[in-house]
Chain A
Amino acid sequence: MNATLRIQRGTAGETPRLENFDLAFEPGQSVLDGLRAIRRLLDPSLGYRFSCINANACKECMMLIDGKVDYACTVRLKEGMTMLAPLPKKALIRDLVTEIAPPDERL
């Protein structure tokens, strides 16, 4: 099966741009699996947060998936287009990475 991830990219201050990434996947794989595959196969500069990979323990991979706030590690890849964008109410750092650390836990 094939998925297209349409990803909002850019750093703070840049005009956001949308890029499409096509990839083959096996049913059951997560959006995070897809993002990791994109970095390995297509574009290593794509930015997104994650730590625990699969356990939904770290809660770092939160983003806007098809317009809804969700975790990339628990939403499954689907055939056709999936839209990914950074969290809208957090300061943008790069691509899907936003400033989500509590203010007193930052540099």
Chain B
Amino acid sequence: MAVSETKPDLVTHLETDVLVVGAGGAGMYAALEAARGGASVILADRSLIGRGGATVMAQMTVAAALGEQTPDHWEHHLADTLTAGRGLCDERLAALLCEDGPQRLREMDAWKVGWAREGGHIKQAQAPGHDRPRCAYVDFLSTGPAVSKTLRTRLKSASDVRLIGDLFIIDIAVRNGEACGAIALHLPTGRPVTLAAKAVIIATGGLAGLYRRNSASANMAGDGYSLALRAGAELIDMEFVQFFPIGHLAPRLVGMDPIMWDPFRYKLGGKLLNSERREFEQDYATQDSRSDGNYVLTRDLATYAITREVEAGRGSPAGGAYLSFRHVPEAEVRRAFGPVVDRLLANGIDLTRHDVEVAPIAHYHMGGVRVDETLQTGVPGLYACGEAVGGANGANRLSGNAITEALVFGARAGRNAGRRATGRTSPWAADAARPALDLLRSETKRDAPNPAAVVAQLQAIMADKVGPFRTDATLRSAITAISQLKQEIGELPLSSATAFDPAMVDWLDLRNMLLVAQSVAVAALARTESRGAHQREDYPGLEENWCVNQIISLSRGDISLRKLAPTKGRAAA
């Protein structure tokens, strides 16, 4: 890796075989695997390494057919994944996820992640949509932090991996149709950086940050999707945004992730109650043939049930449902929640006496960058992995599949990108960086709205009009509002960047967010049916002729949409 500085532009230039963008679980695994194959790697994150992204916040479970709790085979996991995906899964990607999953979990086990054990085997919990106990975890809400820490520790001892935090990737550099690196903003100095790479991996996670209430890190508002689109790659299934049904709503809880309640519901049978203090899930359970009526509503159905109860005037005071553990003996609560009981008490919540209020919260995105079975996009040399990839989970993701896909797709993308880079000469050309460098240097002081306020406006538009329930009218109004915001923020930054310039970062975020928000809304408007996480109030039924994926591409700033039959069949492993 060479470092050079060319004055007077003060552009730092770095070179590497493989550039990984995003240091969550997928990005870290990709970096490890590329390095294991002998490639030099730069792992860049706009946040600090291992702190941002979704993995570190994941408190839940990791699904894989380990067969530790009960006999299992990855084909059973695949069958459940495909069923949850409601006909739209890319079967090659879903099969990779399920087939490689056990291997990755065992590797993590060998790296001492600390999967919870009982009776000498890894404990696997039952989660909705799975036909048997399949979900491993690290106890007391520690799954994500443990996964993150384990990978970070491995990275520290990996050879030829350079970790760079506070480095915000602005655009992928493309030359002759191939990815050749990236252009970045170094946040602590506000200076541009160019990175030459023989392969680039997008591992930036999803887009939950587009929504008002979300369980994402601040850096997850679809960066990777817009990087991919502008580089010439395609997106798939953008209309499928997963809402986590029981995100914490009230009372205000600090120091805890809003999606913390699910594992405790599994363990203790927490009850969801409406304002009449009646359990209502049963009323909706009959609508899904896979439901056995015993707390197995998949996330899309549970989101539907809570939202409908609120609309019918049976919501909790803050506009959600009650989650109650009051029927559970105190000792059992203590045993299941462990130290979390005390953190809740510090927030004034005594579960043996108080219910909490929960409501759907934007959580995960099934759609994303379109890749083939090698995790490569349509742009040679540009790969994607983790949540940034679209297609594996179709119209709805099973709980437990997100960390698995981070590990599996991360490893695969890293390996394949490393192979591509090995023995190849750098395709870098300084010209490929020029448009993005010009953008970063442009100084166009003008009257413009507060970019932080515009981000909040966009989040409100997405929540109110492109949320879990959509209509033609709300979607059209969202598309109009998004294009107005686009005009308001303009095509050039409001100033050139200075050290840790939050207004500049917001502007660059909006450049990405508005493009991604538009992609979601346009795809949602076109899909005139209801399927999985995409629910149209004006088209309530699932339509057989809509068993297609929608593909989005960008040409001269304009989004276009086309339909494609879902990819069937398996990849050769």
Interface residues of A (CB under 8 A from B): 11-12, 26-30, 36, 39-41, 44-47, 50-60, 71, 73-74, 76, 93-95, 97, 99-101, 104-107
Which of A26, A40, A73 is close to B452, meaning CB atoms less than 8 Å apart? A40
Which of A28, A104, A105 is close to B252, meaning CB atoms less than 8 Å apart? A28
Which of B165, B498, B502 is close to A105, meaning CB atoms less than 8 Å apart? B165
Q: How far is the CB of B142 from chain A (nearest CB, A)?
A: 10
Determine if B426 is an interface residue (Cβ-Cβ < 8 Å).
no
Query: Which residues on A sit within 8 Å (CB–CB) of B253?
Result: 54
Tell me the bound Cα distance from A107 to B182 in angstroms: 15
Whether the Cβ atoms of B499 and A12 lie closer than 8 Å is: yes
Whether the Cβ atoms of A52 and B57 lie closer than 8 Å is: yes
Query: Which residues on B sit within 8 Å (CB–CB) of A36?
Result: 452
Q: How far is the CB of A82 from chain B (nearest CB, A)?
A: 15
Segment 172-193 of B: residues with Cβ below 8 Å from A: 186, 188, 193
Closest chain A residue to B343, Cβ basis: A56
Q: How far is the CB of A16 from chain B (nearest CB, A)?
A: 15
Whether the Cβ atoms of B186 and A107 lie closer than 8 Å is: yes
The segment from B26-34, B48-56, B225-233, B351-359 found at the interface with A is: B48-56
Q: How far is the CB of B508 from chain A (nearest CB, A)?
A: 13
Determine if B245 is an interface residue (Cβ-Cβ < 8 Å).
no
Closest chain B residue to A59, Cβ basis: B51
Whether the Cβ atoms of A105 and B163 lie closer than 8 Å is: yes
Tell me the bound Cα distance from A59 to B145 in angstroms: 12
Whether the Cβ atoms of B56 and A107 lie closer than 8 Å is: no
Tell me the bound Cα distance from A93 to B48 in angstroms: 15
Number of interface residues of B (CB under 8 A): 43
Query: Which residues on B sit within 8 Å (CB–CB) of A56?
Result: 254-256
A105 and B48 in contact (CB under 8 A), knowing A44-B451, A57-B144? yes
Query: Which residues on A sit within 8 Å (CB–CB) of B12?
Result: 107
Interface of B is mostly: loop
Query: Which residues on B sit within 8 Å (CB–CB) of A71?
Result: 255
Query: Which residues on A sit within 8 Å (CB–CB) of B51?
Result: 51-52, 57-60
Which of B145, B219, B501, B502 is close to A57, meaning CB atoms less than 8 Å apart? B145
Q: How far is the CB of A81 from chain B (nearest CB, A)?
A: 20
Closest chain A residue to B455, Cβ basis: A40
Query: Which residues on B sit within 8 Å (CB–CB) of A99?
Result: 188
Query: Which residues on A sit within 8 Å (CB–CB) of B502?
Result: 39, 44-47
Whether the Cβ atoms of A44 and B499 lie closer than 8 Å is: no
Query: Which residues on B sit within 8 Å (CB–CB) of A57?
Result: 51, 56-57, 144-145, 257
Whether the Cβ atoms of B500 and A44 lie closer than 8 Å is: no
Query: Which residues on A sit within 8 Å (CB–CB) of B256?
Result: 54-56
Segment 198-239 of B: residues with Cβ below 8 Å from A: 216-219
Tell me the bound Cα distance from A100 to B57 in angstroms: 20
Determine if B444 is an interface residue (Cβ-Cβ < 8 Å).
no
Closest chain A residue to B252, Cβ basis: A28
Query: Which residues on B sit within 8 Å (CB–CB) of A50?
Result: 218
Tell me the bound Cα distance from A29 to B47 in angstroms: 24
Tell me the bound Cα distance from A94 to B500 in angstroms: 6
Task: Identify 12 new A-B residue pairs, CB closer than 8 A, beyond the known A105-B163, A106-B188, A107-B12.
Answer: A39-B502, A40-B452, A51-B52, A52-B52, A52-B218, A58-B47, A93-B188, A93-B499, A97-B500, A101-B48, A101-B165, A105-B164
